[in-house]
Chain A
């Protein structure tokens, strides 16, 4: 079974600064996908960024980037130039990419990020 661990229940950062959220996972699979989802107070789950395990290049989406270390099974999220609207719960998630039917998304427990003015 796959597990996803987020060791930081809560973090805070000052507006305009940079913050990194940690995520580790455990799997015996070689083909998989990793995601970061954001859940603001509105409750909506919003995809922040996606990484294919077979790609060595780290994914980036505007101010959001990841540091994917496959050997260490680590997948951290870096948020640059933090904005007040980034305040949310952030979930790391894992999906097997076998191409068959077993591609459910497994989530970590989340990190509550607060951006302070």
Chain B
């Protein structure tokens, strides 16, 4: 298996622009997670899906952030409009079932200028 695939690996954009991050989980995994990593706050869970349904989005910082999982093999995290404080590494992870380890993608390094 190719593992969790995220794109793009790097994204540089200007403040106010829309940013879309993409994730393909490992086939057969039921759960998908979006994390954000910054120096100040470490790794924070933004949202997670179970069987394509959003279960907990309490970590989404504000309405500018939205996430979708239209099917079992694809998810997006969208920021509109983007702000410099959104600059971070965004990770997607998937897992097969409760209590099992999370498999992480390589992350997207987002820089908002």
Chain A residues with CB under 8 Å of chain B are: 33, 35, 42-47, 50, 52, 91, 95, 97-110
Taken residue by residue from 89 to 113, chain B's Cβ proximity to chain A (1 for < 8 Å, 0 otherwise) reads as: 1010100001101111011010000
Q: Are A110 and B42 within 8 A (Cβ)? A: yes
Q: Which of B62-113 contact A (CB under 8 A)?
A: 89, 91, 93, 98-99, 101-104, 106-107, 109
Q: Is the interface of A mostly helix, strand, loop or mixed?
A: loop
Q: Is the interface of B mostly helix, strand, loop or mixed?
A: strand
Q: Are A43 and B101 within 8 A (Cβ)? A: no
CA distance A97 to B93 in the complex (A): 18
CA distance A109 to B89 in the complex (A): 15
Q: How large is the interface on B (under 10, 10 to 19, 20 to 34, 35 or more residues)?
A: 20 to 34
Q: Are B56 and A102 within 8 A (Cβ)? A: yes
Contact of A107 among B31, B43, B56 (CB under 8 A): B43
Q: Are A50 and B55 within 8 A (Cβ)? A: no
Contact of A105 among B33, B42, B107, B109 (CB under 8 A): B33
Q: Are A44 and B101 within 8 A (Cβ)? A: no
**B14 nearest CB across to chain A (Å):** 24
Given contacts A35-B101, A44-B104, A50-B101, contact A109 B56 (CB under 8 A): no
Q: Which residues of A contact B56 (CB under 8 A)?
A: 101-102, 104
Q: Are B104 and A45 within 8 A (Cβ)? A: yes
Which chain B residue lies CB-closest to A33?
Answer: B99
Closest 5 CB pairs of A and B: A45-B104, A107-B43, A101-B55, A109-B42, A97-B99
Q: Are B98 and A97 within 8 A (Cβ)? A: yes
Which chain A residue lies CB-closest to B102?
Answer: A105
Q: Are A45 and B91 within 8 A (Cβ)? A: yes
